[in-house]
Amino acid sequence: MADYQAPLRDMRFVLNEVFDAPTLWASLPKVAENVDPDTADAILEEAGKITSGVLAPLNREGDEQGCKWNDGEVSTPEGFREAYQTIVEGGWNGLGGNPEFGGMGMPKTLVAQFEEMMQAANMAFGLAPMLTAGACLALDAHGSQELKEKYLPNMYSGVWSGAMDLTEPHAGTDLGIIRTKAEPNGDGSFSVTGTKIFITWGEHDMAENIVHLVLAKLPDAPKGPKGISMFLVPKFSVNDDGSLGERNSLSCGSLEKKMGIKGSATCVMNFDGAKGWLVGEENKGLAAMFTMMNYERLGVGIQGIGAAEASLQSAREYALERIQSRAPSGAQQPEKAADPILVHPDVRRMLLTMKGYVEGGRAFSTYVAQWLDISKYSDDDERRKHAEGMVALLTPVAKAFLTDRGLDACIMGQQVFGGHGFIREWGQEQLVRDCRITQIYEGTNGIQALDLMGRKVVGSQGKLYELFAEDVASFIEENSGDDNLRPYLEPLAAAFERLSDVTEHVIKQAGDNPDAVGAASVDYLDLFGLTALGYMWAKMVKAAAPKAEGDTSGFYSGKVKSARFYFDRLLPKTVALAEGIRSGSGSMMALTAEEF
């Protein structure tokens, strides 16, 4: 198995040459005061060293050892506590946090690159900083000034970690039926009682305190999702001077035995009248939770890219070294018993497919992060509103498409290894197991597809889609005279027209057929994702093609050739997807329950 190395060259290309992130940052005053190109480059360089040198070497051992539960206490795999200290001492926990409370205030476009490195190096470990960052985001956006001052500095510093407590044994997607209760104590605090499951890093030994953000219902709350509130419930109470007080009445009842990410603690959390404080308004807990969901769901998509990148690195190295059979065109290395398997078209198909999804996905995640930065930091109301619409539309695509293709890439990497990919020592089977969860948590990918098709596209009568459509159409029109881009713009325009036609078709169907949205949603998300990555590859060709001729490094010329593969072999999948969507819901809904 290849030692993971952060893909800094490609990250710099995406940030600086494709999206010109420094210009974006300079246009956002709140960002510009915290970051410049030199600072960003230094952050990338150091992040690469820490993730490759500290986190990646713990990945396999963390998987084999797992976390251990003993009478409510959870111990982490060997080396995790020390690695956590390295992360927090470097300020990485608060990289994107509010500077007012000790965060570094870095833009998401930059933070996303660090997140990818961390998730590729060690996904199980990377979930801890990821969950803390999400909890901080929700608290910063909705908490009272008192709560923010009391908790955020230690969460940004990593002295305390964060956890998000949503799911219950009977309530996953349908949070409106949660049973956890919060009773007012009369002093501004609440007693929270209930059981939560699947709580990532809900208990562990790496931080001094764990701050839980818990969804619960007040006694007279309305039924359904409109009756959910959010509460901050710390593992240890915090005194007025900031010191830790007594243990709160919450505990970890057990750890889940799971398929992957075994180095992370997935907890059953019991709250037995635990003392907590309201975050945001009563019965507005879902709104508070969804503040961080756009960031977290992009973060999960980035996990998919990270796992795929790790798979690609290992498979590429193996394909260059493993010798089996001869090339179809004749011996390439006649002095050896066989040729490297890289000479075989099918191995190249797998590697180039992985490359297409990884590098296209990296560009797409940065594209979404760009809109998140504008929506959060712009002083221009119109610009900010436009960005908010793009974030709403693109977030489910980023979460679901990138994780679906991430698992595909992990499986293809395993296939490149053949039998060795099925064996534990090479690391490929762990990547497959770890990546699988990304399609499930933070809202399953089927739910993401329903959100995209039903809420965002049909629900807005296509208005949110038009924001993306205008962006793609403008790029095609502005670059129509570029000879380097012309071979790519025609198939991109065709795929884009296909997507637009299908969008209009489903919106019309949905008016008369209640099953239309659900029947189309998953295929529609895939069609959208393939087209969006085609757009990203066209943008990368625009940046790379002028530098490809005479490129001795192979970076720019390889980028252009990889784009050609994407447009020749992957983008055409949109044709079949569009036909499937147009077929409607009839055959899908025709069978009776007995006929299954």
Q: Residue 442 catalytic?
A: yes
Does the CA dihedral 381-147-25-17 come out positive or negative? negative
- Per annotation, catalytic residue among 442, 466, 478, 549: 442
Gyration radius (Cα) of the chain, Å:
24
CA 250 to chain centre: 29
Tell me the two tokens of residue 216.
Answer: 């619960």
Least Cα distance to 231 among 295, 343, 138 occurs for 138
Residue 203 CA to residue 161 CA, distance in Å, equals: 10
Distance, CA of 514 to CA of 516 (rounded, Å): 6
**Phi, psi (deg, nearest 5) at residue 75:** -110, 140
Could you tell me which residues come within 8 angstroms of residue 267 by beta carbon, excluding any fewer than 6 positions away? Answer: 74, 199, 200, 201, 202, 203, 252, 253, 254, 255, 256
Secondary structure E strands in 329-435 = none
Structure tokens at 554: 């192979």
Inter-residue contact 226 to 218 (CB < 8 Å): no
Residues 94/87, Cβ–Cβ less than 8 Å: no
Nearest Cα residue to 372 out of 386, 357, 358: 386
Burial 46-85 (b: 16+ CB within 10 A, else e): ebbebbbebbbbbbbebbebbbebeeeebbbbebbeebbe
Question: By C-alpha distance, which of 452, 467, 571 is closest to 506?
Answer: 452
CA dist list (Å): 387 to 17, 223, 384, 452, 555: 21, 33, 5, 16, 32
- The whole-angstrom distance between residue 494's C-alpha and the CA centroid of its chain comes to 28
Tokens for 91, please give them: 């300020």
Residues in the chain, overall count: 596
- Look up residue 367 and give its amino acid: Y
Q: Which of 513, 509, 514, 559 is nearest to 538 (CA)?
A: 559
Place of tokens 């969901």: 293
Coil, helix or strand at residue 237: strand
Q: Residue 587: what residue type?
A: S
Residue 276 structure tokens: 């907590």
Q: How far is CA 563 from the centre of its chain?
A: 23
* Rounded Cα–Cα distance for residues 522 and 54 (Å): 38
Residues annotated as catalytic (active site), given as ranges: 442
